Amino acid sequence: MVRKLLLLLLLVLGGSVKTLSLSAEPIPFDLGSEPGPGFTLNPNPVTGTWFHINLGFSESDYPNARFSISNVLGEVIYTAPIKKTEFAGAKVRVDIAELKLDKGVYFVQVFGGDKSKILRLVVR
């Protein structure tokens, strides 16, 4: 079967052999290609009952910043503004148990003005 497919492919390509190369380099999972509110997630993967969103920006940079957590289907599970006290400590503590997040993959998106950045979060 495979041999027949290869012969058919060779005929379709006009009798010449063309090579196809695939790159095995990992694709970075920072979906925010535009400059926006920088942040990191810690710990990631999450094995306990909480994680931090470590803010790489100040309230003066993005005064109305907020964040959301979505599942792999794109459904927003939780959203909240970033509070003054969280800006002061440069991090937001998110309680997994309170949000009832099951084990799995989620996406944390931080919005600042008309810009946003998304990072992947794994809960184990």
Q: Which fold has domain 27-123?
A: Immunoglobulin-like (2.60.40)
pLDDT at 56 over 90: yes
pLDDT at residue 8, as a whole number:
47
Q: CA 62 to CA 111: how far, in whole Å?
A: 8
What band does 113 get if pLDDT is binned at 50, 70 and 90?
A: confident
Identity of the amino acid at 29: F
CA angle 41, 35, 39 (to 5 degrees): 15
Distances (CA, A) of 118 to 12, 32, 103, 110: 43, 6, 19, 7
Can you give the pTM of this predicted structure? 0.71
What band does 36 get if pLDDT is binned at 50, 70 and 90?
A: confident
Distances (CA, A) of 77 to 6, 11, 80: 47, 52, 11
- Domain locations along the chain: 27-123
